[in-house]
Amino acid sequence: MNSTVQSNVLLAAVAALACAMGFAQSSGEAIYKQKCQNCHGPDGMANSGIGKVMKVKPVNDPEVKKLTEAEMIEIALNGKGKMQSWKNELTNAQIKGAVDYFRTFIK
């Protein structure tokens, strides 16, 4: 193969790998990182500046741990305390995905 063809094949392989890596992140994880992580933190521990100021409870708080998936979805839909409602910005499936991802932090 000449160097131009080799370069194009290598470029195509790199592009395919980058696309595959992008799809490896679940949509719930992506929504969580985009909409929730600022307050709840990358690991659900609410240790971000905003999370601390708003007194967001971490995922390991007993009150958070006892919430069911349905209760968490309801909170995300309608908001609670200082937390905004997401029902006008996210679909039900997106909210469920973000809640499912958040629940992976519960131990």
- 10 Å CB burial of residue 99 (0-12, 13-18, 19+) is buried
Query: What does the pLDDT look like over 53-88, one tens digit per residue?
Result: 999 999 999 999 999 999 999 999 999 999 999 999
Average confidence score pLDDT of the chain: 85
**pLDDT class of 10 with cuts at 50, 70, 90:** very low
**pTM score:** 0.75
Percent of the chain with pLDDT over 70: 77
pLDDT given for residue 93 in this prediction: 96
The domain limits of the chain are: 26-103
Topology of 26-103 in CATH? Cytochrome Bc1 Complex; Chain D, domain 2 (1.10.760)
**Is 76 in contact with 98 (CB distance < 8 Å)?**
yes
